[in-house]
């Protein structure tokens, strides 16, 4: 079973609709992230959370909100979707308590979102 899962894997929605992307992890990591990938722009950070009560904006948070329901769950919401939010969305996790200093991030499989 995958350690970091995202649902749905693909979603088509219409402008103005509210949509939620969900991320779950079984790695026991405390830190979770949401990134968005656009062609020619790489991945950009939307929001990140160091624990359930610590949520921070990333570089492109406008139009998005998040919820850390539990250590293992981190959801991304688009309150009113618009076409330029069409992108590939990734959730990632890392463990701040690891002995290794790299604190490697582990990524989910991504959600392809299309806003018409």
Partner 1 sequence: AQTVTQSQPEMSVQEAETVTLSCTYDTSESDYYLFWYKQPPSRQMILVIRQEAYKQQNATENRFSVNFQKAAKSFSLKISDSQLGDAAMYFCAYRTKQTGGSRLTFGEGTQLTVNP
Residue 29: name the closest of 68, 67, 1, 59 by CA.
68
45 binds partner 1 (CB under 8 A): yes
40 binds partner 1 (CB under 8 A): yes
Nearest distance in Å: CB 16, partner 1: 27
50 binds partner 1 (CB under 8 A): yes
94 binds partner 1 (CB under 8 A): yes
Q: Which residues contact 112 (CB under 8 A, 6 or more apart)?
A: 9, 10, 11, 88
Which of 5, 13, 52, 58 lies at the binding interface for partner 1 (CB under 8 A)? 58
Burial class (CB in 10 A: 0-12, 13-18, 19+), 102: exposed
CA distance 59 to 22: 20
Q: Which residues contact partner 1 (rule: CB under 8 A)?
A: 31, 33, 35, 40-45, 48, 50, 58, 88, 90, 92, 94, 96, 101-105, 107, 109-110, 112
């Amino acid at each position: 079973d995958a350690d970091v899962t995202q649902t749905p894997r693909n979603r088509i929605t219409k402008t103005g609709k509210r949509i939620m992307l969900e991320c779950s992890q079984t790695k026991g990591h405390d830190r979770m992230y949401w990134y968005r990938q656009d062609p020619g722009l790489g991945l950009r950070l939307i929001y990140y959370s160091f624990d359930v009560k610590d949520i921070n904006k990333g570089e492109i948070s406008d139009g998005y909100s998040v919820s850390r329901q539990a250590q293992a769950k981190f959801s991304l919401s688009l309150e009113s979707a618009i076409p330029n939010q069409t992108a590939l969305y990734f959730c990632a996790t890392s463990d701040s308590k690891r002995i290794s200093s790299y604190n490697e991030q582990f990524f989910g499989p991504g959600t392809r979102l299309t806003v018409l």
